[in-house]
Amino acid sequence: MKALFFLLLFINLAFALYIQLEPDESSRASLSAELQTKTGPSSAAAPPPPSVCLEWEAFPQPDVAHVEAAISRHNLEGKLKSRTMGMAPYYWVHIPPLMNKQHAERKIGELKRRDITTYQIVEGDSKWNNAISLGFFEKIEDARAFLATLRTKRVVSAIIGARNVEQVKFVAENSPADLEGQLEKLKAEFPNSRITRTTCEPRAETHGKANSAAQ
């Protein structure tokens, strides 16, 4: 009997001790929340998605002044930034260097009278000084077609040459929804250009206003 008594007493004491040591439901919930706080996913914010840019390209550097003038006419100044793209080969339709600037200006007057609207006197280049640039083309077929058009307007001194020149593109970052439509209208003035949507590149040095002289 004594053995049974002590056995039951031991069981009761053990049960009482278990009841005291076991955490209640609220304690378990608090402990679980604390563990989740300490071991849960990192609170660091996810990186933002990459920005989408509109790119309008590609233009030979000597033509950039004409492009910037068109951008200004369409009230898009400040929305597009120019960036250089590296050197590229072009077919250059031009009138070879004339004797002096006065002679070149007289030739410009003839071009105006023959309804030629795209021209530029080359200045500050010893090799091409006083030449008249009429257009740059990536494809020889386009250069030949343009030269044929000049011939119909009795511009017989123009020729085609090959040049390596800097390419330039215009980029719009985080552009408003209507900008692409405005660019499409502007692109109609430059049929050999193209507009693409792309992930924005890291910021690069922008190309300043174009010099009036061809390179």
Burial class of residue 172 in the structure, from the number of CB atoms within 10 Å of its CB (0-12 exposed, 13-18 middle, 19+ buried): buried
Would the pTM count as exceeding 0.75?
no
CA dihedral 174, 179, 185, 187 (to 10 degrees): -10
204 occurs within a structural domain: no
pLDDT tens track for 73-87 = 988 888 889 999 999
pLDDT lower than 70: segments of the chain? 1-50, 125, 202-215
* Domain containing residue 130: 52-199
> For residue 169, is it within any domain?
yes
Distance CA 172, CA 192 (A): 19
Q: What percent of the chain has pLDDT over 70?
A: 69
Instruction: Give me the phi and psi of 63, to 5 degrees please.
Output: -90, -5
Domain membership flag for residue 143: yes
In a domain, 152, yes or no: yes
pLDDT in tens, 89-116: 999 999 999 999 999 999 999 999 999 9
Sign of the C-alpha dihedral computed for residues 113, 115, 117 and 123 taken in this order? negative
